[in-house]
């Protein structure tokens, strides 16, 4: 009788299908280094590669009764390893994307809350500055910016010329811009 190392892959597979553990050990010893090297190259992680190789050989043993390998066994093993590596890489990619999305969502949420608070504070400061303006200037500004009225509409309603409304708004905007500039500068510090 031949020794197991002298058997072909096909002969060993036939014995494995019958439950021969020695034939399985021979096929394992024949290929584990090659497929481990391949898996390590693809994953970049020896421990993960060892797990993948072990999973493939365990699966091969568990399914020994229904094995029907038509191609060369070495190619079958490489393809099996390749699929397991792809599954692993896909899981890692999904994990990484989920972590990035969670981090991004947290950052966006955190940042948007801060922006809202800053905006609210800025809006309050603007409102205070408008309240400190002379009554007529504040009224013209509100009609234009808050109510969306044109210079012509404001002029007609307040009994002024359009030019007077324009010059009043220019002056008011300069005052507000200077005040907001000071407030914005304090935000940056």
Predicted confidence at residue 182, as pLDDT, reads 75
In the chain, % of residues over pLDDT 90:
25
pLDDT at 125: 79
CATH class of 133-188: mainly alpha
The CA-atom distances, in angstroms, between 82 and each of 6, 50, 74 are 28, 13, 12
| Encoded tokens for 71 | 């191609």
- Which two tokens mark 45? 């992680």
Query: Once rounded to an integer, what is the mean pLDDT over residues 6-33?
Result: 91
The pLDDT tens digits for 145-172 are 878 888 899 999 889 998 999 999 899 8
Measured between alpha carbons, how far is 180 from 117 in angstroms, rounded to an integer? 16
Q: How far apart (Å, rounded) are the C-alpha atoms in residues 79 and 83?
A: 6
Lookup: tokens for 27: 């096929």
Fold of 4-97: Rna Polymerase Sigma Factor; Chain: A (1.10.1740)
Q: What is the pLDDT, as a whole number, of residue 1?
A: 61
Mean pLDDT over all residues of the chain?
83
Are the C-beta atoms of residues 177 and 130 closer than 8 Å to each other? no
What are the tens digits of pLDDT across the range 67-92? Answer: 888 778 888 898 889 889 888 888 88
Token couple for 5: 């190392």
Question: How do the domains of the chain map onto residue ranges?
Answer: 4-97, 133-188
């Amino acid at each position: 009788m031949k020794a197991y190392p002298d058997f072909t892959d096909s002969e060993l597979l036939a014995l494995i299908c019958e439950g021969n553990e020695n034939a399985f050990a021979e096929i394992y010893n024949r290929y584990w280094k090659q497929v481990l090297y391949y898996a390590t190259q693809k994953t970049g992680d020896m421990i993960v590669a060892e797990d993948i190789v072990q999973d493939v050989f365990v699966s091969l043993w568990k399914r020994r009764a229904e094995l029907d390998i038509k191609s060369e066994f070495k190619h079958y093993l490489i393809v099996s390893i390749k699929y397991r590596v792809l599954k692993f890489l896909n899981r890692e990619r999904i994990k990484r994307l989920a972590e990035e999305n969670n981090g991004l969502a947290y950052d966006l949420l955190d940042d948007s809350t801060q922006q809202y608070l800053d905006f609210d504070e800025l809006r309050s400061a603007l409102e205070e500055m408008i309240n400190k303006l002379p009554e007529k200037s504040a009224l013209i500004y509100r009609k234009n910016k808050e109510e969306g009225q044109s210079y012509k509409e404001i002029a007609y309603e307040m009994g002024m010329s359009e030019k007077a409304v324009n010059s009043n708004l220019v002056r008011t905007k300069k005052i507000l811009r200077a005040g907001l500039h000071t407030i914005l500068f304090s935000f940056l510090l």
